[in-house]
Amino acid sequence: MKKRIILFLLAAMVLCCGCGDLGLAQKERFSSSFIDLFDTASTVIAYDESQEAFDEHMETFHQRLEEYNKLYDIYNTYDGMVNLADVNKRAKDGPVEVDQKIIDLLEYCREVYTMSKGKTNICFGSVLSLWHDSRLYSSDNPEKAYIPEKSDLEKAAAHTNFDDLIIDKEKRTVYFKDPELQLDVGAVAKGFAIREVCRWAEENLWSSAAISIGGNVVTFGYKNDDGKTLWNIAIEHPNPEAGENLASLTITDLAVVTSGDYQRYYMVNGKKYCHIIDPDTLMPAEYVASVSVICPDSAQGDALSTTLFNMPIEEGKKLVDSMDGVEAVWVDKDYQQTYSAGFEAYLKHEEK
């Protein structure tokens, strides 16, 4: 999985402080895990009235997230739905009418493209598909592992112009002016979907929750549902031999997202090739081992962590320090850490 942050899962259920004297219904802590969406493992921790209520809310949450998962899938199509896999097949022939959720995602990706100065470009699908195919084949056939030919990557890169993606917001259509354009929304879609579903969940399901969808972590309310205790979130160390987490954070109403080279990668002749491709070199980015972002929402975190992974640390630090409400930690290839200006404020007291 591209991004993974470990939630601290506390075994004990803790009741709201002081509520018993008022005779009010006490919310309890429940959790649920699943592995069937966004090709990743996920966990939801939330406070609810009862197990029955939590199970019902969880089913609704899962259904909403599943809809986004299908709409944003670029590899599979589904009966009764026009999704991004359909768009990649048909948009070269003419405008394809799509769900508003796809329009919203693509418009957000335009903002990300501008913010990142092209470092995060969903129109890079023709290049990314070459790396995707080589990674899948090489993982299954390690003795024949290979990387794409430079000439093939350069030919594909000629068909990645964002201006060739034509979006008609009024008609809700998508059209490719370049017939060889392909979308790959992997750097943004999961975070965008999580943001939208979690905002809905906060309004309609739970007052306090910590939700990790493949490491894209969203928090709102408070641990124990007590109005004061912040959530504890651990960031995994990119060094598998570290034996401890990189950092432990105390947060709420924030998202934490990590991009790293330590999970989705493959080996060719003893060299590691990760899945995050630098658009300038057309090769896997090699600036850092990981970068973790704290920010107001998971869509921003998803896009920004990929952007920062594709640039030198000092350049990325300047970008983060120029943004309100955003902090980050970088880990270089020697596993040395660099913090943005305000990152340490989120570290648990004993780690400062």
What pLDDT digit, counting tens, does each position of 225-277 carry? 999 999 999 999 999 899 899 999 999 999 999 999 988 899 999 999 999 99
pLDDT above 70 (res 84): yes
DSSP string, 100-115: HHHHHHHHHHHHHHHH
Contact assessment for residue 29 and residue 285, using Cβ atoms and an 8 Å cutoff: no
pLDDT at 294: 98
pLDDT at 233: 96
pLDDT above 70 (res 6): no
H or E element, residue 190: helix 189-204
DSSP 8-state symbol, 200:
H
- Mean pLDDT (whole number) for 196-214: 97
Locus of tokens 């359909």: 86
As a whole number of angstroms, the distance between CA 197 and CA 71 comes to 14
As a whole number of angstroms, the distance between CA 224 and CA 227 comes to 8
Q: How far is CA 156 from CA 26, 126, 148, 181, in A?
A: 58, 5, 11, 9
pLDDT above 50 (res 162): yes
- Mean pLDDT (whole number) for 212-216: 89
Q: How confident is the model at residue 7 (pLDDT cuts 50, 70, 90)?
A: very low
Question: Is the pTM higher than 0.85?
Answer: yes
Q: What is the dihedral of CA 268, 272, 275, 280, to 10 degrees?
A: -90
pLDDT at 264: 87
Locus of tokens 């329009």: 103
pLDDT above 60 (res 199): yes
Higher pLDDT, 350 or 190: 190
- Type of residue at 159: H
pLDDT at 26: 77
- Mean pLDDT (whole number) for 150-169: 98
Pick from 196, 166, 152: nearest CA to 302: 196
pLDDT at 4: 40
Lowest-confidence segment of 12-26, 38-52, 84-98 by average pLDDT: 12-26
- Mean pLDDT (whole number) for 271-284: 96
Q: How far is CA 74 from the centre of its chain?
A: 16
DSSP 8-state symbol, 283:
S
DSSP string, 11-63: SS--PPTT-GGGTPPPPEEEEEEEEEETTEEEEEEEEES-HHHHHHHHHHHHH
Q: How confident is the model at residue 349 (pLDDT cuts 50, 70, 90)?
A: low
pLDDT at 352: 38
Task: Say if residue 70 is exposed, middle or buried (CB neighbours under 10 Å; 0-12, 13-18, 19+).
Answer: middle
Locus of tokens 């990760």: 274
Question: Cα 18–22–24 angle (5° rounding)?
Answer: 95
pLDDT at 25: 57
- 308-344 pLDDT per residue, tens: 999 999 999 999 999 999 999 999 999 999 999 999 9
Which structural domains are found in the chain, ordered by start? 6-71+206-351 (3.10.520.10), 84-176 (1.10.3980.10)
As a whole number of angstroms, the distance between CA 178 and CA 123 comes to 11
Sign of the dihedral through C-alpha 197, 201, 202, 208: negative
Neighbour tally for 97: CB within 10 Å: 11
As a whole number of angstroms, the distance between CA 286 and CA 21 comes to 57
